[in-house]
Amino acid sequence: MAEFELDCLGEACPIPLVKTEKKMQELDVGDTLIVMIDHSCALKNVPEWARKNNYDVEVEEVGESEWEIFIDKTA
Amino acid sequence: MAEEAVKKIVDETEATPSSRRSSSRSSRRSTARKPKKDQTLQGLILLVLVIAFGIYLATISATIGIFWLTGIAFGFILRRTNFCFTASMRDPIMTGSTSLTRAVLIALAITSIGFVAVQYGASIKGLPVPGMGFVVPISFATVAGAFLFGIGMVLAGGCASGTLMRIGEGFGMQMLSIVFFVIGSFWAARDMGWWTLNFISNGPRLHLPEIFGWTGAITVQLVFIAVLYILADRWENRNQEL
C-alpha cells in the first residue's frame, strides 16, 4: 500500500506513458503511483492506458498546465 | 512552531503505508499546492484583444482575418480536447488506443463533405473549382516523406499544430522542436524544385470527382473512411482482449 511518485515534468509524449508502464510493473498490488506531467498529451494516454488495465485513475490539475495522475494498482 | 514542524515530519515518516495513503492522498490534494490562479480577467482581456486584432486584420485583408480566427479556434480546440495528429498515428502502435485515430477520421469525413459542398457549389455555377491548386501528384516521395515526417513528429512530441499548441501551453522542449521544424522546412523549400522536377511531377494527379463524379467521389471517400474507422475500432478492442 505504498505510494510512489514519478516525475515526468518536461517529458514529451509518449515518454510519460512508457515510464508509467515500466514503473507500474515494479509496484505491488494496492500501491499507488502518482505521475506528474506537464505535457497535455500524456493527460490523455496515461489515464486511458491505466483504465484499459482496470486500474483506478484520478487526474488532478495542480497548476497551470501541470497535472498529477493517481493510479491505484488494483490488480 | 519548530515543534509543529518536527511533529509534521514525524507524522509523515512514521505513518503506516495504509494510513499514509488515505491521509496523504487527501492532504496532497488540499495542501502543498500552488494555489491555482484565477485567470478569468486575463482571459476576458485576451478575448477582447483577439477580437480587436481580428477586426484590425480584417481591415487589411478579410482572408488574414479569417486565418486569425480559425487559427485561434483550432488552437483552443486542440488544447481543450487533447486532440493530436501525432498521437492518432502513434498510439495505435504504441498503446493500442485508437480513440484519436477515430477522431481524425471523423474530422476527415466532415471536412470531405465540406470540401465537396464548396467545390460542387463552384462547379455548378460554372466557376473555377477552388482548391485545385492543392491537387498535387502522388508519388513515392509522398510515401517516403510521410514516413520521415512520422518519425520526426514522434521524436519531437508533436506535429506542427501540436507543437505550436504546446508552446502556447508553456512546454519548453517543444520550443526547441519548432526551431528545427522551421530549419527543416526551409531546407525542404530550398530543395523542393529538384524533388518536384525529378520525382514528384512524374506521379499521377488524382482528383476523385473527375474520376467518379461528385456523388461517386464523396461516396468512395466516406466508405473508405468508414472502413478505416471500423478497422481502428477493431484494433482497439483486439488489444483490449489481450
Nearest-Cα residue of chain A relative to residue B96: A49
pLDDT in tens, B184-237: 999 989 998 888 888 888 788 888 888 888 899 999 999 999 999 999 999 888
| Calpha distance B32→B16 (Å, rounded) | 20
Contact A62, A24 (CB under 8 A): no
pLDDT in tens, B60-114: 999 999 999 999 998 888 888 878 888 888 888 887 888 889 999 999 999 999 9
Contact of B21 with chain A, judged by CB distance below 8 Å, is answered with: yes
Task: Give contacts of A43 with chain B, Cβ < 8 Å.
Answer: 82
pLDDT in tens, B131-161: 888 888 888 888 998 999 999 888 887 888 8
3-state secondary structure (DSSP) of residue B213: helix
The pairing of beta strand A56-63 with beta strand A3-8: unpaired
Task: Give contacts of A63 with chain B, Cβ < 8 Å.
Answer: 33-34, 36
pLDDT in tens, B192-206: 888 888 888 878 888
pLDDT in tens, A26-46: 888 888 899 998 887 888 888
Task: Give contacts of B77 with chain A, Cβ < 8 Å.
Answer: none
Domain assignment present for B153: no
> Among B21, B156, B170, whose Cβ lies nearest the Cβ of A32?
B21
Domain assignment present for B157: no
Residue of B225, A1, A41, B18 whose CA lies nearest to A20: A41
Total count of domains within chain B: 1
| DSSP letter, residue B39 | -
Q: Inter-chain contact B18–A13, Cβ cutoff 8 Å?
A: no
Catalytic residue, chosen from A4, A13, A14, A57, is A13
B24 pLDDT higher than 60: no
> What's the CATH number for A3-72?
3.30.110.40
A5 pLDDT higher than 60: yes
Domain assignment present for B23: no
3-state secondary structure (DSSP) of residue B14: helix
Average pLDDT for chain B: 81
A59 pLDDT higher than 70: yes
Q: Which domain holds residue B73?
A: 35-81
B14 pLDDT higher than 70: no
Domain assignment present for B27: no
Give residues with Cβ within 8 angstroms of A3, minimum separation 6: A31, A32, A33, A34, B17, B20, B21, B24, B25
Structure-block grid coordinates of residue B9: 515530519
3-state secondary structure (DSSP) of residue B146: helix
Interface A:B, Cβ pairs < 8 A: 86
Our answer to whether residue A41 is catalytic in this structure is: no
Contact of B86 with chain A, judged by CB distance below 8 Å, is answered with: yes
